[in-house]
Amino acid sequence: MNYFKKQIPLEEGDFYLTKEGYRCFTEQYHLKRGYCCKSGCRHCPYGYDKKKHNN
């Protein structure tokens, strides 16, 4: 059984580096990926709100 998601090649505009040096994925990347990971991403285009959905 394959537990790994398909890797999406990164392109210009898919992410930027925060001032702390972390990679922050953009809405463009999330839409290309095609699903919500429910991690509360800063640029989530799927409307997921971690505070509202925290069980």
Rounded Cα gap, residues 17 and 19, in angstroms: 7
Burial of 30 (0-12, 13-18, 19+ CB in 10 A): buried
| Amino acid 10: pLDDT | 95
Taking only the tens place, the pLDDT of each residue in 1-55 is 556 677 889 999 999 999 999 999 999 999 999 999 999 999 999 999 888 876 5
| Amino acid 50: pLDDT | 81
The secondary structure of residue 8, as a DSSP letter, is -
| Amino acid 33: pLDDT | 93
| Amino acid 46: pLDDT | 94
Long-range CB pairs of 38-43 (<8 Å, 24+ gap) are: none
| Amino acid 55: pLDDT | 55
Q: Please compute Rg for the chain using Cα positions.
A: 13
